[in-house]
Structure 1
């Protein structure tokens, strides 16, 4: 999915009609309120029951509406996933910005903001599920299933979180602490790597070979996985790029 894809104007929850300078009508206000209710119910259900078990019927029941009404506001479950992920990402961006300290050297700043991201993912496993579900969806399929306006909101939320990383990577490149040819690309790599690492941290299991042909499963803590991911992030930022 290309997080930079966007329409020319600010979207509504569904579709991509531009904002009007005129006051919102009572009908439009009710539609916006109902869409927000549905998104809040989706988020609550994700946090309580997980993404995999969340059903449209459950969301409709939580709001007190018929499931058909949900489809008047959203194109389907994929769009609900996308816009619920927006809320998670907005919270993550706030945490990453709060964790940053511009008085520190870039490697320590990178460690702090990556740590904030990982800690949020540990606290809200439904965020990881939601993000990974969308990452596994082919881009063309996602574009067909999610309205353009919703895709813009998702792309803006992702790029906002990634920009926290880019700002630190740029600062490190300027100071000579980092050697990064493409900060945007590395930020995307760190984002997807963190999601995979968080999934491993949730499993708390690593597979190794005890002897040739004999697998062995061992437990691993979130703190251990977290430390490896932080070290990997700094190593990628400080490493010599391949030419």
Structure 2
């Protein structure tokens, strides 16, 4: 047999193997992605049903029909599940913010965007819990608890929402309706303070002083919180500082 014939024979024998191997890898990757989607969907469902604190890894695994060890093969832990579940919420929220940002007029547009944010948070309290839990972590802590790829997806989802708010502020500055030195900083501040106010709306209780040293509680409704956040956003955008 000549050298060329040997090479051809080797090629004909080997070439079918590579596509088969690639096919198996592709199928395995597809199964892995599907399993991850199932786990995240179960996490989201349990968060919405029970709240963040009462949803355990064992419950998530049982909902998918797997054991908890398999969950840890796909995710570094509960913090990463928090992060990627928040990504799902934020993706939904971004669509609502984009729709709200179509309103004409800078002030009306900002009010619509803030209203959409508050209404979504009121309807999805688990989103608020997850987002606040992650915000209590420092950057180094998040890097220790969450993979870089998951952290990137979370950052992209957050900026996807914040960019709509920043753009709304920038357009208001361009039209002369707003006076904002740093739209990005204000957008981040509104997001963070909005999460805190949404927690207040869920609790529904205000603490106040009726006399020196004498505390009491009052009620606050989600509508009141929403109106306050809209008014605050407009005031900060119009008269910063």
TM, length-normalised to structure 2: 0.89
Structure 1 spans left out of the alignment, 5+ residues: 1-21
Match of 1:16 in 2: none
Give the number of the structure whose alpha-carbon radius of gyration is greater: 2
Q: 1:101 Cα shift?
A: 2.3
Could you say which residue in structure 1 is the equivalent of 2:76? Answer: 75
Residue 161 of structure 1: aligned partner: 161
SS at match of 2:39: helix
The aligned counterpart of 1:61 is 62
**CA separation in 2, counterparts of 1:225 and 1:25?**
49
Structure 2 runs not aligned, ≥5 long: 1-21
How do residues 9-88 of structure 1 correspond to structure 2 at under 5 angstroms? 25-88=26-89
Question: How many pairs are equivalent?
Answer: 219
Deviations 1:180-212 (A, max 9, x none): 111111110010011000000001110110000
Q: Secondary structure at the match of 1:52?
A: coil
Q: Partners in 2 of 1:110 and 1:240 — Cα distance?
A: 15
Task: Report the structure, 1 or 2, having the larger helix content.
Answer: 2
Q: Does 1:111 align with 2:120?
A: no
Runs of 4+ off more than 3 Å: none
Q: Distance in 1 between matches of 2:70 and 2:114?
A: 39
- Cα distance in 2, alignment partners of residues 131 and 220 from structure 1: 22
Q: Which secondary structure does the structure 1 equivalent of 2:66 belong to? A: coil
Counterpart of 2:145 in structure 1 is 145
- The DSSP-based 3-state class of the residue aligned with 1:81 is helix
Aligned-partner SS, 1:223: helix
Residue of structure 2 in register with 1:136 after alignment:
136
RMSD: 1.2
User: CA offset at residue 240 of structure 1?
Assistant: 3.9
Match of 2:11 in 1: none
1:206 is paired with a residue whose SS is strand
2:91 equivalent in structure 1: 90
Cross-structure match for 1:172: 172
The residue number in structure 2 matching 1:205 is: 205
Normalised by the size of structure 1, how large is the TM-score?
0.88
- Bigger RCO (CA 8 Å, 6+ sep): 1
1:155-179, Cα deviation, whole Å (9 max, x unpaired) = 0000000011011101001011111
Tell me, in whole angstroms, the C-alpha distance in 2 between the residues paired with 1:190 and 1:87: 21
Structure-1 separation of matches of 2:170 and 2:225: 26
1:87 & 1:109 partners in 2: Cα distance?
24
SS in 2 for 1:216: strand
